[in-house]
Amino acid sequence: MRQQVAAIQDAMAREVKAAGTTVQLDELRRKYLGRKGMVARLFDELSRLEPDERRESGRLLNELKARCEEMISRRRAEIEREETRQALSRETIDVTMPGRRPPLGRKHPISRVFDELKEIFLRMGFEAVDGPEVELDYYNFEALNIPHNHPARDIQDTFYVTDEVLLRTHTSPVQIRTMEGRRPPIRVIVPGRAYRSDATDASHSPVFHQLEGLAVDRGVRFSDLRGTLALWAKEFFGPDTKVRFRPHYFPFTEPSAEVDVTCVMCGGHGCRLCKMTGWLEVMGAGMVHPRVLENVGYDPRELSGFAFGMGVDRLVMLKYGVSDIRLLLENDMRFLKSI
Ligand code: PHE
């Protein structure tokens, strides 16, 4: 019996030491100390021994049982300590690790060009104003001397909300709103969005951007318009840039012109971009029509003015070398990051 007890104790000591998890320990306890375990089986044998021997062996077995319990609980504590240590080291925060950088946004190229345009015109004494994008027919067409049968009024070109309400097709209605609201001298620019029911392609979008300009005072002349835009072109595109005025027609200006700048790509020699003309069209302009002045209660014999409206998306495309207007409006991060 004594030998058996020693052998079991040795075996158990070895196995307990080798156990790496509490689950394994539970198994060992079942194997040795369970109701049908090895120690229990030795207890069963006690009945077959002589009383003296039985007493002695019983004592040995009880000691064995106690020692086994102790080995298991000591090992269990060890394993639990180790598991806690590992859990803690898994969960520690390394405060010296570099943080994750949130992606940084930046200004959209259209906003950047608007900012630049504003800066140029504010230096010349203009003031930036705005007006509603959902506009009345009266301001968008009627007061601007655009007749009822004018093609721009067709639903092909204009998004109507009702018969009288529409999405402004240009920033020119703000000319009327500004003149109605104050007396000359007036020098304003209107950076803003406009809408036309165009078919979309590389150079047309139903949403686009304009910068309107308006100056009204006594004795404002065409040469003032010319000088203002000549200076603007040099500031915006560079000191060698020239402007050219071609006769044109707008119902709300007389005389009217389309304004070209020397080609930003070839400097005027002729290339693919300017279709070999050396010039790029960038805006419409002219002297405010006397009937428009009358519509806001100004006396055209006393006051005169000039106005212009430039296509801002086109300016962005020229400045940043973008060949498709849709790229400016689709907010594709890959494109926006690249320019
Ligand atoms: N509103 C005109 C357009 O959108 C541009 C323009 C503005 C022309 C002011 C003359 C004067 O085409």
User: Do 49 and 127 sit in the same domain of this protein?
Assistant: no
* Angstrom distance (rounded) from CA 77 to CA 72: 9
Q: Is residue 168 a contact partner of residue 147, using CB atoms and an 8 Å limit?
A: no
Max avg pLDDT among 34-43, 88-97, 286-295? 286-295
Same domain, 113 and 81: no
- 258 in the same domain as 220: yes
Higher-confidence position of 5 and 96 = 96
pLDDT value, residue 41: 83
Verify that 43 and 130 share a domain, yes or no: no
Is the pLDDT assigned to residue 124 strictly greater than 90? yes
Is 99 within the bounds of a domain? no
Same-domain pairing of 263 and 302: yes
Which atom of ligand 1 is least distant from the CA of 285?
Answer: 10
> Are both 81 and 138 inside the same structural domain?
no
Q: Would you call 65 helix, strand, or coil by DSSP? A: helix
Same domain, 60 and 174: no
Alpha-carbon distance of 71 to 29, in angstroms, equals 10
The CB of 285 under 6 Å from ligand 1? The reply is yes
Residues 162 and 29 in one domain: no
Contact at 8 Å (CB) between 173 and 307?
A: no
In a domain, 120, yes or no: yes
Helix (H) or strand (E) holding 266: none
270 and 161 within one domain: yes
Choose the residue to mutate in 175, 193, 250 for probing ligand 1, maximizing ligand atoms within 8 Å of C-beta. Answer: 250
198 and 325 belong to one structural domain: yes
Whether 26 is covered by a domain: the verdict is: yes
* Ligand 1 binding pocket mutation candidate from 167, 168, 172 (most atoms within 8 A of CB): 172
Give the total number of structural domains in the chain: 2
pLDDT at 128: 98
CATH number at residue 186: 3.30.930.10
CA 90 and chain centroid, separation: 36
Q: CB-hemisphere CA count at 13 Å for 295?
A: 21
Query: Is residue 155 scored above 80 in pLDDT?
Result: no
pLDDT at site 289: 98
Q: Is 213 in the pocket of ligand 1 (CB under 6 A)?
A: no
Please state, in angstroms and rounded to a whole number, the distance separating the CA atoms of residues 224 and 142: 27
Per-residue confidence band for 103, with pLDDT thresholds at 50, 70 and 90: confident
The answer to whether 159 and 135 are in contact (CB under 8 A) is no
Within-domain flag for 97: no
Q: Calculate mean pLDDT across residues 163-169.
A: 96
Tell the residue nearest (CA) to atom 10 of ligand 1. Answer: 285
* Host domain of residue 52: 2-90
Domain membership of residue 98 (yes or no) is no
Pair 175, 253 in one domain: yes
The residue type at 268: G
Average pLDDT over residues 158-162: 96
**Do 74 and 114 fall within a single domain?**
no
Q: Whose CA is nearest to atom 8 of ligand 1?
A: 284
Ligand 1: which atom is nearest the Cα of residue 284?
Answer: 8
